[in-house]
Chain A
Amino acid sequence: MKSAYFPGCSLLGTAKEYDLSNRAVFRELGVELPEVEDWSCCGSTATPSYSRLLSLVLPARNLALAERMGSSIVAPCAACFNRLAMTNLSLREDGEMRDRVNEVLSTLNLNYNGKVEVRHLLDFYLNEIDLETLSKHVVKPLDGLRAVPYYGCLTVRPKTINTFDDTLNPSSLDQLIDVTGAECLEWMNKTKCCGASLIITKEDVALKLTKGLLLDAERVGAQCIVVACPFCHFNLDAKQGDVKRMSKKEIPILYFTQLLGLALGIDWKELALDKNSVSPFGMLRKWFPE
């Protein structure tokens, strides 16, 4: 089946480096994905707290658009992936609800029949592009770089939508780190929540969770944290300056597409490494002295 890219709202703004680095890696690999035509917000995890019907209709509009293109959806954002996949599941299982949702969509001349597959970008890299292809393209192995993989919550939970990885001990991100030649360290916090959905309403509480993650990464000797979610990145990277820690040492937070891009020999500008709040250039000097 063809695939269509669903960037999601964050990738137009605070997560621009995720979008840019992903597109750069796609270009390098010759992967071409059209965007879902005129996609709209998935409603995020906030919408189910507001209206049940709307929380299904907003993702369903995008599912219907992808279905019209005859494509599956590839979503880089954990919240988009979660809402699109959860909605897909609900609409496939509950015919009555699907009729209600289609009644709304009919005002837009759209209809959804449940034929679209929703995939997280990690799934796409691992199972569509595959590790062998990736390793063939590695020209600049990042030997000796110590990284911890951080999945966060919605990429791998709940298990009803995560068909590509283990829920409690996922490994997709680990495998993608391994491909770059970097050393993927074990730690306890792979899937612990960073509190990003509370960063606006309960900032002090959210930053406590963020602090725990940063301290633990430091404790296991990681030089950087590798993520696959725009909200995890925002909390750990952009808000890192607001986390009161004993140590003054900063930990760069890289999107896995940035790490992959470096190993594939892509220029740092194309990977938008200058857009990260915590600069990764000091850490990378050993591999890229220029």
Chain B
Amino acid sequence: MTVMQGQTKAGNPLAEVYRVSGEDEEFLQKIIDVEGVKAHACLSCGSCSGSCPLSFSMDYTPRQIMRFLQLGMKEKVLSSSTIWLCASCYGCTVLCPREIKITDVMGALKRIAINEYKDLIASKSSYTYYNTFMKSIEKNGIIDEKSFFITYQLKTRGLLGLLNYAPFGYSLFRKGKISLRTHKIRQLDSFRMIFRKTGQMEQ
């Protein structure tokens, strides 16, 4: 992190307060621009960590992540287990006295990690999960639960991993909750253009 004085390039209030510059400032700006996140407003009160049902399993609590963000500590944040353990339950967002959309911050961090910093990702299975999920939607227009699950297990744990779930899968099959038929939407060809078009626009 480069310490500098005076006005920063982007006029980012956070960067000014904490004197963050260069790449770290760009990173901060990215999160602030996209989600309207007021990370600089965070008081470190800990309401988020206290309300988070998953704090116990994270390497850094949401409060710590917010603080690292203020300090522009990009690698620390993007390599944390925290962002992959966030269940997007909005508990923190509801309780934040500064109305910071913490759930959206976690979403943005996952997005940045997946699209730009794959090597920093602490949970490779989560990376596979999100990619497989999106491909499944593109393939059928809806999520076909069994195809998605089978693809994910094969990619992360292989055939043996998948076989562990065979009795469970069979019990769902017997209840008619898994069918051999794959649901698809009718306008599938035009639906898939959504993915091409958004891909082009986000380039």
**A→B interface (CB under 8 Å):** 9-10, 12-14, 16, 38-41, 43-54, 57-58, 61, 100, 103-104, 107-108, 153-154, 157-159, 167-168, 191-193, 195-198, 200-202, 205, 208-209, 238, 274-275, 277
In the complex, whether B117 has a CB less than 8 A from a CB of chain A is no
Q: Is the CB of A201 within 8 A of B126?
A: yes
Q: Is the CB of B142 within 8 A of A108?
A: no
Chain A interface: which of B42-50, B68-76, B143-151?
A: B143-151
User: For window 66-96 of chain B, which residues contact chain A by CB distance below 8 Å?
Assistant: 84-85, 87-91, 93-94
> Smallest CB–CB gap between B58 and chain A, Å?
10
Q: With A158-B94, A193-B89 in contact, is A61–B198 under 8 Å at CB?
A: no
Q: Is the CB of A201 within 8 A of B54?
A: no
Tell me which of B56, B90, B194 contacts A108 (CB under 8 A). B194
Q: Is the CB of B87 within 8 A of A153?
A: yes
Q: With A14-B177, A157-B93 in contact, is A108–B129 under 8 Å at CB?
A: no
Q: Is the CB of B88 within 8 A of A197?
A: yes
Q: Is the CB of B194 within 8 A of A61?
A: yes
Chain A interface: which of B5-13, B21-29, B103-111?
A: B103-111
Tell me which of B88, B115, B185, B194 contacts A107 (CB under 8 A). B194
Q: Is the CB of A49 within 8 A of B177?
A: no
A12 CA / B185 CA spacing, docked (Å): 12
Q: Is the CB of B201 within 8 A of A12?
A: no
A44 CA / B87 CA spacing, docked (Å): 12
Q: Is the CB of A13 within 8 A of B177?
A: yes
Q: Is the CB of A108 within 8 A of B111?
A: no
Q: Is the CB of B54 within 8 A of A205?
A: yes
> Smallest CB–CB gap between A245 and chain B, Å?
18
Tell me which of B130, B175, B197 contacts A49 (CB under 8 A). B130
> 8 closest Cβ contacts across the A-B interface?
A153-B89, A49-B110, A193-B89, A157-B90, A48-B107, A9-B143, A45-B88, A13-B145
Tell me which of B126, B131, B134, B201 contacts A104 (CB under 8 A). B201
Query: For residue B103, which residues in chain A have a CB less than 8 angstroms away from its CB?
Result: 158
Q: Is the CB of B125 within 8 A of A201?
A: yes
Q: Is the CB of A10 within 8 A of B107?
A: no
Q: With A49-B111, A157-B90 in contact, is A54–B175 under 8 Å at CB?
A: no
> Smallest CB–CB gap between B147 and chain A, Å?
10
Query: For residue B130, which residues in chain A have a CB less than 8 angstroms away from its CB?
Result: 46, 49-50
A9 CA / B184 CA spacing, docked (Å): 10
Query: For residue B56, which residues in chain A have a CB less than 8 angstroms away from its CB?
Result: 208
Tell me which of A100, A104, A201 contacts B84 (CB under 8 A). A201
> Smallest CB–CB gap between A102 and chain B, Å?
11
Interface string of B186-202 (1 = CB under 8 A from A): 11001101110110011
A49 CA / B85 CA spacing, docked (Å): 12
> Smallest CB–CB gap between B52 and chain A, Å?
9
Tell me which of A44, A50, A53, A154 contacts B89 (CB under 8 A). A154
Q: Is the CB of B194 within 8 A of A58?
A: yes
> Smallest CB–CB gap between A244 and chain B, Å?
16
Q: With A46-B130, A157-B91 in contact, is A275–B197 under 8 Å at CB?
A: no
Q: With A157-B93, A209-B53 in contact, is A13–B146 under 8 Å at CB?
A: yes
Q: Is the CB of B197 within 8 A of A104?
A: yes
